A = this chain, B = another copy of it.
Amino acid sequence: MQAPKNLDAIFYPQSVAVVGTNKTKGTVPHDIFYNILDSNFQGIVYPVSPGEKSVAGVKAYKYIVDIEDPVDLAVLVFPSSVCHLALEQCGKKGVKSAIIISAGFKEIGGKGVEREKQIKSIADQYGISFIGPNCLGVINTDPKMRLNASFARKMPEEGNIGFLSQSGALCTAVLDYAQAKHIGFSKFISFGNKADINEIDLLYYLKDDPRTKVILVYLEEISDGFALMKAAQVVISESGKPVLILKSGRTEEGAAAAASHTGSLAGSDVICDAALRQAGIIRCSDIEEMFNRAIALAYQPLPQSNRVAIVTNAGGPGVLATDAAINQGLKLARFSEATSDILRKSLPKTANTKNPIDVIGDAHSDRYNVALSSTLKDENVDGVFVILTPQSMTDIDEIAREICNCSIQFKKPIYTSFMGEADVASGIDILQRNRIPHYILPESMCCSFSAALNFKNRSTKSDSSEYSPLDHINPQKAKEIFEKALQSGKRFLSGRDAYDILQAYGFPVGRYGQASSKEDAVALADQIGYPVVMKIVSEEIVHKYDVNGVLLNLCSAQEVAEGYSSMMKVISERKPHAKIEGVLIQEMSESGVEVILGVKRDPSFNAVLLFGLGGIFVEIFEDVSFRIAPLSPPDIQTMITDIKGYPLLSGARGRKIMDIASIEDCLRRLSQLAVDCPQIKELDINPLIVRNEGLGALAADIKIVI
């Protein structure tokens, strides 16, 4: 898939007009023009200002239409109240791309919402693609272009990280943070209210941008989560570029604060978390974590596996790093005989030549060189962590340069942690300028390595594994039942209708039927075979157990008849006005492990599927997993193995192995049902009773909210 909008003109314009600029330094309208001019821009920039003859020494135009030559990109800095007029002029001039910096649109509500609609409609009319409004602007560090169409204080270094942000203010903090650490960017984009071009368009664009290796996104709300997942999956599978997302509004209060800020609603965070993971996106919890991981992914090769060597000049930090590595699922590499020999021969006797290698406090760069080059050569080592503490004899800068040399020589990841601050500052500077990932803490170093490894493992998995459509299902029948139910005003299905829908999709529902009299019930039970279960069917009775509306293990016609009478008696007393549709008679399941399967319709991600163990495991331990439909085979497998209680299904500790294949089959059917039938708002199969391996499962109770 390609970026659908005219984004090249935004990042690579031959000519730019800054519409609404002026001569007042320190104001956004002036600074943006000046920033473009000052950033060694390789095209032509025109100031458009009704009130000025020139801006920053460049001849100004009253209107954009006055410019003689074609304009590829317009940057609008007029107040929001007149933006629509300026955009209209851009349209007339034939400009096809714009960045609307101006604030005062959707984010202020009321009139602003109207204004945003108005500019969007003008843009559509003239075929203009635009970024914004309410944004910081766009930066392209490509030396062929060098465009700083933003009011950021300065242009960042060139690099291979693409950064997208919904918040402009955060961009200024990020640029400042990055500058100090020599983190470079390929493209840096504040997309604001995303009235036209959104993060999804930009993801597709950066997928094809040869200067971008890693993509970072800061989001305050996810409007089309499903499209975002799809875009990320395409980016990752087609280009191999990792996508890192920092999504705020994780808590309800955070979402409320976001809503007052951008005028948009955030979805439930636990769903968002599952969805991003499912799409292969690396979700980060703060800016530092995001950049810690980004530099690992952008600067160094991906690790092939989890065996690391630790090289340190101090024992304590070596222990801390070991702890952190193990906690992150890494292993301390066991060195080959050759490596051990070199280490023993070349390092002093007091050194520890086992992993973690302690080159001892008085080590100079030569010892670091020995430890680094021998471990990097060792095929039992997938990456090296270098730790340094500033002892009085430590030649910090020389060691930093040694690390840079080794990094060029060997194609394995090297990460570093020079502990301290003032004394190690120049050494860290050398590392950062040479794109060696540096971390203040061994813990974040290990965490970042682990993130890179997870990404590598993810990206080498077959991404194309998908299910073929299900055979022998009857979507038409399900559709008819939903339509009929909706027409008759029903909002809740639990009787025969619900079972018929599941049966149409091939779920194991056993023998069942619905009866509307005692005689019918007995006849039906005879036909199904004993024992049976009898349940009341009434839209007005949601909690069947409260009215004795469920009778289990009825073993004879007599028990069915008596049960029917007593059930109706209790209901007529407790729910005298409930409209009774009848009773559902179904075969009684053999015992097994109870699990729950569910669907929840989400405004952003569409069909969210849930799996967990039933009863107290859902209620008290909240031991459930979520995925977004449609599910791929690995989605289904991990959805089942992700829950903590999985050993109860897999036969741990002498237990019987349960029929996991039938759970997988049900989840596959549920995924298709949820995708096919948008009428489903919520659905619970609770419990699905899973029997021993090979014996299948039975959907013992079903509720559908439509």
Q: Which residues of A contact B (CB under 8 A)?
A: 26, 28, 31, 108, 151, 153, 165-170, 172-177, 179-181, 218, 220, 248-254, 256-258, 260-262, 285-288, 313-320, 322-327, 332, 350, 352, 354, 356, 358, 361, 389-393, 419-425, 440-443, 616, 619-621, 623, 644-645, 647-648, 652-653
Contact = CB atoms under 8 A, between A and B. Distances in A.
Contacts of A175: 420
B167 A286 contact: no
Nearest to A332: B253
B172 A443 contact: no
A326 B180 contact: no
A425 B423 CA distance: 17
A323 B419 contact: no
Given A322-B254, A322-B257, A441-B288, A173 B389 contact: yes
A424 B176 contact: yes
A72 to B, nearest CB: 26
A176 B421 contact: yes
A577 B568 CA distance: 64
Contact of A169 (B260, B391, B619): B391
Contacts of A323: 248-251, 253-254
Contacts of A288: 440-441
A437 to B, nearest CB: 17
A287 B174 CA distance: 24
A26 B393 contact: yes
A418 to B, nearest CB: 9
A177 B179 CA distance: 20
Contacts of A327: 250-251
A171 to B, nearest CB: 9
A595 to B, nearest CB: 15
Nearest to A108: B350
A360 to B, nearest CB: 9
A156 to B, nearest CB: 11
A166 B261 CA distance: 49
How many identical chains are in the complex? 2
Contacts of A648: 616, 620
Given A286-B441, A391-B172, A443-B285, A314 B621 contact: no
Contacts of A250: 323, 327
A422 B314 contact: no
A138 B319 CA distance: 23
A265 to B, nearest CB: 13
B153 A261 contact: no
Contact of A318 (B26, B257, B644): B257
Contacts of A31: 392
A166 B315 CA distance: 10
A388 to B, nearest CB: 9
A287 to B, nearest CB: 7
A253 B325 CA distance: 9
A294 to B, nearest CB: 15
A425 B176 CA distance: 10
Closest 8 CB pairs of A and B: A169-B314, A176-B420, A167-B316, A180-B421, A254-B323, A173-B419, A261-B315, A251-B326
A658 to B, nearest CB: 14
Q: Which of A108, A176, A180, A644 counts the most chain B CB atoms within 10 A?
A: A176
- Residue of A26, A248, A314 most packed against chain B (CB within 10 A): A248
Contacts of A621: 621, 623, 644-645
Given A180-B420, A220-B316, A248-B319, 11 more contacts: A28-B392, A169-B315, A170-B316, A172-B390, A180-B422, A251-B322, A252-B326, A253-B325, A257-B315, A260-B352, A287-B320
B253 A322 contact: yes
Nearest to A288: B441
A456 to B, nearest CB: 22
Nearest to A315: B261
B108 A316 contact: no
Nearest to A622: B644
A648 B261 CA distance: 42
Contact of A326 (B167, B173, B254): B254
A350 B111 CA distance: 13
Given A315-B169, A319-B248, A319-B249, A177 B419 contact: yes
Nearest to A220: B319
Contacts of A352: 260-261
A253 B308 CA distance: 13
A150 to B, nearest CB: 11
A392 B254 contact: no
Nearest to A104: B350
Nearest to A166: B316
A297 to B, nearest CB: 20
A169 B354 contact: no
A475 to B, nearest CB: 37
B315 A262 contact: yes
Contacts of A285: 443
Contacts of A258: 315, 319
Contact of A317 (B173, B393, B419, B644): B173
14 contacts: A108-B350, A167-B317, A168-B361, A169-B389, A170-B314, A172-B390, A176-B390, A176-B420, A177-B419, A248-B320, A253-B325, A254-B326, A257-B319, A619-B652
Nearest to A323: B254
Which residue, A176, A315, A391, has most C-beta atoms of chain B within 10 A?
A: A315
Contacts of A173: 314, 317, 389-390, 419-420
A652 B316 contact: no
A252 B326 CA distance: 9
Contacts of A253: 322-323, 325-326, 332
Contacts of A653: 619-620
A356 B257 contact: yes
Nearest to A252: B326
Contacts of A441: 286-288
A192 to B, nearest CB: 11
A181 B420 CA distance: 10
Interface centre among A172, A257, A261, A315 (most CB of B within 10 A): A257
